[in-house]
Amino acid sequence: MRISLTEDWSSEQGKSVKYSMKSNNCEVRTTAPPPSSGAEKIIGLVGDLPAMPHIAAQVVQKLANPDSTPQEIHELISKDQSLAARVLKMANSPLYGASRGVSSIKEAVIFMGFDTIGSLIMTSVMKDMTATAGKSGKSLWEHSICCAVGARHIGRNLGYQRVEEIFLAALMHDIGKSVLFLQIPDIMGQVVSSVNGGKSFPEAERELLGFAHMEAGRLLAQNWQFPLAMVDAVANHHEPDCAATAGELTHIVSIANILCHKLSIGLTKRPEIDPFELQSAKELGVSDKLISETLIIINNASFNKKPNVN
């Protein structure tokens, strides 16, 4: 079953807009909340969606303001010592590959830049969310971070200008799944059983819930005021041709997501996938060489590296 989204919505600026793109029998809009019936169905089942941590939300808003200064960002992050410690730890991890040791938040902001600091903040938020998602949390986190690393590599090699946007979109692509595991773990356990039996996550979720994690993710991404391009990627990473505003970004996230499935990283394990026959890769002109490189990079970022990838 597909939830049909057919209403007019209002944009962030308050102007009436309707973005839609029909492809392969899909109709997707990403610039405003889902219709009330869809939102009510999700909230009715899982309860109120979680809010972004207060300081993290303030930092993200500050980072989006071109008039913000490094000092302001430093002072704001420093108000949450737990967040500050996690940001510093990640800034010095191989994941971000800082060219020099980063010993303070102020240094991190100055030397790594606003975009990378934004990635660090959201990585911390996502890690915390998956940590509270029960026994599936570790798999969700590993899949999210490996997908982000893989997508960033693909984006860089394709000449995508906003590489950190790719990293964040891929990191957060399954945020709806994390929320569902957090709020309704027993039902999501049944979903996993169906997935292990051969069904896709969206198929199993729609049978048991009446909606899929992409719809829940889109709603949360909009509530957290993600950029429209990221909302598009969260909403359409399983059907990138349906992306209304960020087609290239969504295709890149989709490729990295499927490569993680190929390597059995996360809750979906599809080793039978031919990674060199991905439609999204053909759409973007991704070479077999880049696919092979990305598989190796994703494998190296995983918690249990496989000896032979190609």
Q: Return d(Cα 120, Cα 83) in angstroms, integer.
A: 10
DSSP state of 133: S
Asked if residue 43 lies in contact with residue 49, where contact means CB atoms within 8 angstroms, the answer is: yes
Helix, strand, or coil here: 238? coil
What residue type is assigned to position 157 of the chain? N
Q: Which range among 38-47, 71-80, 129-138, 171-180 has the greatest average pLDDT?
A: 171-180
Q: Return d(Cα 5, Cα 303) in angstroms, integer.
A: 38
DSSP state of 204: H
Note the pLDDT of residue 40. Answer: 62
Note the pLDDT of residue 227. Answer: 84
User: pLDDT of 21-30, one tens digit each?
Assistant: 334 456 444 4
Query: Is the four-CA dihedral 255, 259, 171, 92 of positive or negative sign?
Result: negative
Tokens encoding 227: 């950029």
The architecture in CATH of the region 35-301 reads Orthogonal Bundle (1.10)
Helix axes 228-236, 163-171, angle to 10 degrees: 40
Asked if residue 302 lies in contact with residue 265, where contact means CB atoms within 8 angstroms, the answer is: yes
Q: Return d(Cα 92, Cα 98) in angstroms, integer.
A: 6
Q: What is the mean pLDDT of residues 188-208?
A: 94
Note the pLDDT of residue 241. Answer: 92
- Say which residues have a Cβ less than 8 Å from residue 99's Cβ, sequence separation at least 6: none
Note the pLDDT of residue 19. Answer: 29
pTM tops 0.85, yes or no: no
What residue type is assigned to position 260 of the chain? C
Helix axes 175-183, 213-223, angle to 10 degrees: 100
Q: What is the mean pLDDT of residues 250-262?
A: 97
The answer, yes or no, to whether residue 10 has pLDDT greater than 70, is no
In angstroms, the Cα distances linking 216 to 96, 117, 138, 210, 229 are 29, 26, 20, 11, 17
Domain boundaries, the chain: 35-301
Tokens encoding 19: 């973005």
In angstroms, the Cα distances linking 114 to 65, 81, 121, 155, 164 are 10, 19, 10, 19, 10
**How long is the chain?**
310
Per-chain mean pLDDT for the chain: 82
